[in-house]
Structure 1
Amino acid sequence: MPLPPRLVVAAPSSGSGKTTVATGLMAAFAAAGLSVSPHKVGPDYIDPGYHALATGRPGRNLDAYLCGTGALAPLCAHAAAGADLAVVEGVMGLYDGAAGQGELASTAQAAKVLGAPVVLVVDASAQSRSVAALVHGFASFDPEVRVGGVVLNKVGSDRHEELLRAALDESGVPVLGVLRRTAELFTPSRHLGLVPAAERRAEALEAVAALAGHVRAGCDLDALLRLARSAPQRSVAPWRPEGAEPVAGPRPVVAVAGGPAFTFSYAEQAEALRAAGAEVVTVDPLRDEALPEGTRALVIGGGFPEVYAPELSANAPLRGAVARLARAGAPVAAECAGLLYLARSLDGAAMCGVLDAEARMTDRLTLGYREAVAVSDSVLAAAGTRARGHEFHRTVLEPGAGGSPAWGLRQPSARVEGFVRDGVHASYVHTHPAGLPGSARRLVESARRWPAERCAV
């Protein structure tokens, strides 16, 4: 399958305006009638939510650490099927990746693997002629990375723009956009970044529309589209979940937590579950008082349960249903927010009580990639299975591991964490289906074998 025309939106550093430009471009091209496939380098869950609003297609992640470098192009091809254009938002600075591991998981690596030209977004607010040195450095640092154009962000005036353009005239890198400073595009944030689009859908739609207008007014969309179409033609076999052959027999219902409190989920997760033979049904722990009829397994991903702890606690009927399902031995896979939801309490508010542990918010951010080895056999992995994941939270759980831990971690320090008991696998570590192949099939097969008569949920 050929990859579509494509662009990578990168920057010298975080805070330069990548999300503004990438989301605005996605929305502007979509409004012009193009089918745009949105992507984000790295493990971020929040930006893809805005990308989905901008394009009407699921936001997707491209993470070489979690999924392996060889999976990037297949994941892109899988996501971009039928699209006219793929726009990839980078992470951090262009050449920043997994700490101490060279270019691994960097935006530059993704651009090289995809053969995509880079649009460099530069915060020009405090410079003029120096912008030429900065752009020259980024364009020449790695000859395999093609910086095809610059978007100048936070430009103060016509005179400021003239100085910047004059400085860049001899750089060989064309200016494809100039965006003025504005306070009208503010998107609220909190302790883990932007507020997810699912929590503020109406306002998020307005913000995305404003971004599209801002980018349309300041960028040369025709030139950017020509740059995307200059990417070399490349055919790639699309990603498919391991063991995705047709499954005979009944399709067990796998409930997947959603709604404003549980927004952290990769689109490939539900796809992998369906490919493994599951009927995937969403349950919102803030509003639904019962699990979907016939539920034989439950997946609870990440999100912000700490923000909604009182509301989650108030929904006692669903908390009870989750506890009964777990105690009856049904497969339950919980990541981060799901781990907290299964605890006895979160900041003093009663949770499901499946795990003999207490959770609370702290001021300390735990963030980073993790090398993991499954310590115990579980519904996701056999003991000894190696995986890569990431942590992203400001909470702590006491204790942090049960008698049968989920993972043994090698970095930043050696430790065990998480809980495995009966059908429950609960951990702070987020994984991607492409990086933990066979996990969806393992969970669905466990659901198919589970004797549902043991628990009336």
Structure 2
Amino acid sequence: MKGFLVAGTASGVGKTTVTLALIAAMRRRGLIVQPFKGGPDFLDTGHLTRMAGRAARNLDTWMLPLSANKAVLREASKGADVFVVEGMMGLFDGKDGVTKTGSSAEIAKLLQLPVVLVLDAAKSARSIAAVVLGFEQFDPKLPLAGVILNRAASERHFKMLKSAITSSCKTPVLGWLPHDASIAIPERHLGLQAAEESSDDNLGRQTDTLACLAENSLNLDALLSLPCGFDFGETSLVIPETGMPAVRIGVARDQAFSFYYEDNLDLLRKHGAEIVPFSPIADLELPEGLDALYLGGGYPEVYAEQLSGNRSMLHSMRQFAASDRPIYAECGGMIYLSRQLTNLNGSSYGMAGILPFSSEMTGKLEKFGYVTVNLTHDCVLGASGTVLRGHSFHYSRIAEMPNLPTSYRVRYSLSDQQEEEGYRFGNVLVSYIHFHFRTAPHIAQRFVELTRLLKSEEFTTA
């Protein structure tokens, strides 16, 4: 199978736009494309999913062991003709400033993927060759397969830049994309606007524009000919059937809640869960017969008025929590379960009121980066003593620190700061930490089995 990784010299150079253009053009040729995103990201995966028509998956060499990354790539690519991995940040940016750990470069080397480097050419001239040469020499064991120049002013500008690069560098130039405002994806504080907020009509227009630009200005034949060394012949993880009855896990999914690793939901299904999506914005109450809830992150602050105004859903959430069925919530989901949310303009909106604290937006990143989590108490994710890896990325904080028991001892990789987190309130577990469930193979199994146990106890005592 053909495949490659699209990397950048830095964040903001247009990796997502280039990747979307490539996917659109390859699909126009009739190819089935499987998208991936490197690193802890939910927003880009949403856009990649919509463009490819297949759920994008995350690869991460810091959160996940190599075997898990291989399994994700292998399993998700079944039935596809080509796969495309969008990298994160700059090619060599990862967990810290000294090593390649967690970087796109590490993903490419471990999985033997050819690397296509995207540069922002908007204000560049001959000096762009020095940038390419520096990337070539920074890690000679990571040969670059090609370069794409994004936001070039014109074809004449591109030809001048190409001549500068080819005269001094060995990496082939595989084309360019012009600066085009019509293909830009709106941004906000957490990054790109979520894909769920864009209409199907807008997606159609964007797809046509991107496919035309890629066909006209990128060497697709050369890209589809890049040698990929990943071994698709190895055996993937097989989870045996348990024979136990399925449990129904409600998952909040709409414009306000969309931050989920698709593999998390797949693993829950493999261990015997039926995933039941619902909308805290649009639905009047929770679906019937749920045994547990999983509330991911997203943009509850953007939709605070709608969430607060859906009083029947808030009442339904409180009833569910009072039944002592498990609820697991990350970041935005935790905000939704709190008493109220105060936005930057000072407006406050009542939330579910299940947790004994309120949340407030801060306008700046709070405790950003990868984290190592030691479970200090048995919880829905594992037993005490289990070590997990995740990440934190949010612009909010708990308004008043609750006097609640915790299940996590968190260490932040960038600051080395440690704190108690993972708040427990009955059978509710909430945290700012996002986990990829493949970081430890038992997480999904634990969640499903605990839910099944509580369901059987409820049935026995009824």
What's the TM-score, normalizing by structure 1? 0.94
**Mapped contact 2:360–2:398 kept (Cα < 8 A):** yes
Aligned partner of 1:331 in structure 2 is: 326
Aligned partner of 1:384 in structure 2 is: 385
2:58 matches 1:61: yes
Give the distance between the partners of 2:264 and 2:251, measured in 1 at CA: 10
Give the distance between the partners of 2:312 and 2:400, measured in 1 at CA: 26
**Matched position secondary structure for 1:91:** coil
Aligned partner of 1:419 in structure 2 is: 423
Match of 2:440 among 436, 439, 442: 436
**Matched position secondary structure for 1:325:** helix
2:303 matches 1:308: yes
Question: How does 1:332-411 map onto structure 2 within 5 Å?
Answer: 332-347=327-342, 348-366=348-366, 367-400=368-401, 402-411=403-412
Match of 2:265 among 264, 270, 276: 270
**Mapped contact 2:377–2:406 kept (Cα < 8 A):** yes
Q: What's the CA shift string for 1:106-150, capped at 9, x where partnerless? A: 010111112111111111222222222211221222122121111
Give the distance between the partners of 1:342 and 1:216, measured in 2 at CA: 47
Paired amino acid for 2:249: V
**Matched position secondary structure for 1:407:** strand
* Residue identity (%): 38
Paired amino acid for 1:443: F
Aligned partner of 2:197 in structure 1 is: 199
Question: How does 1:151-300 map onto structure 2 within 5 Å?
Answer: 151-170=148-167, 171-202=169-200, 203-227=202-226, 230-232=227-229, 234-235=231-232, 237=234, 240=237, 244-300=239-295
How big is the shift at 1:346?
1.2
Q: 1:452/1:318 Cα in 2 relative to 1: closer, same or farther (>3 Å)? A: farther
Give the distance between the partners of 2:457 and 2:388, measured in 1 at CA: 34
Give the distance between the partners of 1:423 and 1:255, measured in 2 at CA: 15
Give the distance between the partners of 1:177 and 1:13, measured in 2 at CA: 19
How big is the shift at 1:329?
1.4
Give the distance between the partners of 2:454 and 2:135, measured in 1 at CA: 55
**Mapped contact 2:17–2:184 kept (Cα < 8 A):** no
Aligned partner of 1:82 in structure 2 is: 79
**Mapped contact 1:71–1:239 kept (Cα < 8 A):** no
Give the distance between the partners of 1:337 and 1:239, measured in 2 at CA: 33
**Matched position secondary structure for 1:132:** helix
Q: 1:72/1:292 Cα in 2 relative to 1: closer, same or farther (>3 Å)? A: same
Q: 1:343/1:6 Cα in 2 relative to 1: closer, same or farther (>3 Å)? A: same
Instruction: Name the count of aligned residue pairs.
Output: 448
Give the distance between the partners of 1:48 and 1:431, measured in 2 at CA: 16
Give the distance between the partners of 1:14 and 1:399, measured in 2 at CA: 34
Paired amino acid for 1:285: P
Structure 2: segments with no counterpart, 5+ residues? 343-347
**Mapped contact 1:402–1:420 kept (Cα < 8 A):** no
Question: How does 1:94-133 map onto structure 2 within 5 Å?
Answer: 94-100=91-97, 102-133=99-130
**Matched position secondary structure for 2:62:** helix
Paired amino acid for 2:360: R
Paired amino acid for 1:178: W
Deviates more, 1:48-57 or 1:60-69: 60-69
Q: What's the CA shift string for 1:397-447, capped at 9, x where partnerless? A: 134454211311122311112311332111010000101321111111122
Give the distance between the partners of 1:158 and 1:309, measured in 2 at CA: 46
**Matched position secondary structure for 2:439:** coil
Aligned partner of 2:345 in structure 1 is: none
Aligned partner of 2:37 in structure 1 is: 40
**Mapped contact 1:38–1:88 kept (Cα < 8 A):** yes
Q: What's the CA shift string for 1:360-407, capped at 9, x where partnerless? A: 111121221111111221111212211111111111113445421131
**Mapped contact 1:53–1:205 kept (Cα < 8 A):** no
Q: What's the CA shift string for 1:144-170, capped at 9, x where partnerless? A: 212111111122234322321221223
What's the TM-score, normalizing by structure 2? 0.93
Structure 1: segments with no counterpart, 5+ residues? none
**Matched position secondary structure for 1:263:** strand
How big is the shift at 1:302?
0.7
2:19 matches 1:22: yes
Give the distance between the partners of 2:293 and 2:71, measured in 1 at CA: 28
Give the distance between the partners of 1:115 and 1:386, measured in 2 at CA: 28
Q: For the aligned residues, what is the CA RMSD?
A: 1.9
Q: 1:158/1:268 Cα in 2 relative to 1: closer, same or farther (>3 Å)? A: closer
**Mapped contact 1:251–1:279 kept (Cα < 8 A):** yes
**Matched position secondary structure for 1:434:** helix
Q: What's the CA shift string for 1:208-230, capped at 9, x where partnerless? A: 33222222221011111111xx1
**Matched position secondary structure for 1:159:** helix
**Mapped contact 1:156–1:181 kept (Cα < 8 A):** yes
How big is the shift at 1:78?
1.4
2:138 matches 1:134: no
Give the distance between the partners of 1:175 and 1:272, measured in 2 at CA: 40
Match of 1:450 among 428, 445, 454: 454
Give the distance between the partners of 1:234 and 1:321, measured in 2 at CA: 48
Deviates more, 1:442-451 or 1:103-112: 442-451
Give the distance between the partners of 1:91 and 1:158, measured in 2 at CA: 28
How big is the shift at 1:337?
0.8
Q: 1:238/1:182 Cα in 2 relative to 1: closer, same or farther (>3 Å)? A: farther
Give the distance between the partners of 2:25 and 2:235, measured in 1 at CA: 27
How big is the shift at 1:178?
1.8
Give the distance between the partners of 2:40 and 2:422, measured in 1 at CA: 20
How big is the shift at 1:325?
1.7
**Matched position secondary structure for 2:212:** helix
Paired amino acid for 2:315: G
**Matched position secondary structure for 1:65:** coil
Give the distance between the partners of 1:55 and 1:217, measured in 2 at CA: 20
How big is the shift at 1:199?
1.3
How big is the shift at 1:285?
0.6
**Mapped contact 2:113–2:230 kept (Cα < 8 A):** no
How big is the shift at 1:71?
2.3
Give the distance between the partners of 1:416 and 1:208, measured in 2 at CA: 45
How big is the shift at 1:101?
5.6
